[in-house]
Amino acid sequence: MSGSYWDDFEEYQQEEYPISDFVEELADRTESAFGDIGDDYFPAYLGIDNAVKLYSLIRHKKPEIVVETGVCNGMSSAVILKALKDNERGRLYSVDLPVEAGTIEDRKGAVIPPGKSSGWLVTEDLKDIWELNLGNTFYELSKVFEEVGEIDMFIHDSGHAYEIMMFEFGIAWYHLREGGSLLADNTDKNLAFKDFARAKERQVYRMNKLAIMER
């Protein structure tokens, strides 16, 4: 295991509007929306450092087709879309089964504020290269892959149960081109990413809880 893989990517900072400012603005918009509904609920978005690294990775790799699971408020989707826009190529296909705060008893994290919809952080200027599919990845992912065929990058951040992760990695791997990237957040929750990498004889590179292996 090594963090050096991630260190190889420069933070594609832009002079006129640095990407870290873009990410912090997303975080601020999220925090103020959650401020309105009290301390009980939290958004569970990709951390600021991870978001900046994810942006840099996409700028560097220039993927054409990216599939992600787990949108929630839309921090990761907005960052991926911004990177694809700045690359002037690529489309994002997302799958999410959002939960509105207060609608499921005891569910406090990874929720959207009442009245908001999945991916509400994503601004209009980024939406023309985005397809958002609402539903359980168990049903929706196969439809997405049927539509797009081969993909360049897959990012898991939906439910972090071992079975869900293994299911998503399996179907994504089948559609991932050779040299493509498989990523997952919250890989500390269980051994799914490690087990999958071992089965495929791939090296895992971690940065905090975000991990990547290459096909």
Binding residues vs ligand SAM (CB under 6 A): 44-46, 69-73, 75-76, 95-99, 110, 136-137, 157-159, 164
Least distance (Å) between residue 120 CB and ligand SAM: 11
* Min separation Cβ 5 and ligand SAM, Å: 20
Residue closer to ligand SAM (CB basis): 107 or 198: 107
| Phi (first) and psi of residue 98, to 5 degrees | -75, 155
* Shortest Cβ 205–ligand SAM spacing (Å): 19
Shortest spacing between CB 92 and ligand SAM, in angstroms: 12
Number of Cβ within a 10 Å radius of residue 136: 14
Q: Tell me the closest approach of the beta carbon of residue 151 to ligand SAM, in angstroms.
A: 17
User: Which residue, 184 or 197, is less far from ligand SAM as judged by CB?
Assistant: 184
User: Around Cβ 87, how many Cβ atoms within 10 Å?
Assistant: 16
Minimal CA–CA distance to 171: which of 144, 189, 197? 144
C-beta closer to ligand SAM: residue 3 or 135: 135
CB nearer ligand SAM, residue 141 or residue 213: 141
Coil, helix or strand for 135? coil
Nearer to ligand SAM, 2 or 103 (CB): 103
Q: What single-letter DSSP state applies at residue 47?
A: P
Give CA torsion, residues 165, 171, 172, 173, to 10 deg.
Answer: 100
CA count, 13 A, side-chain hemisphere, 175: 22
Tokens in use for 6?
Answer: 């991630």
Run of H or E residues at 112: none
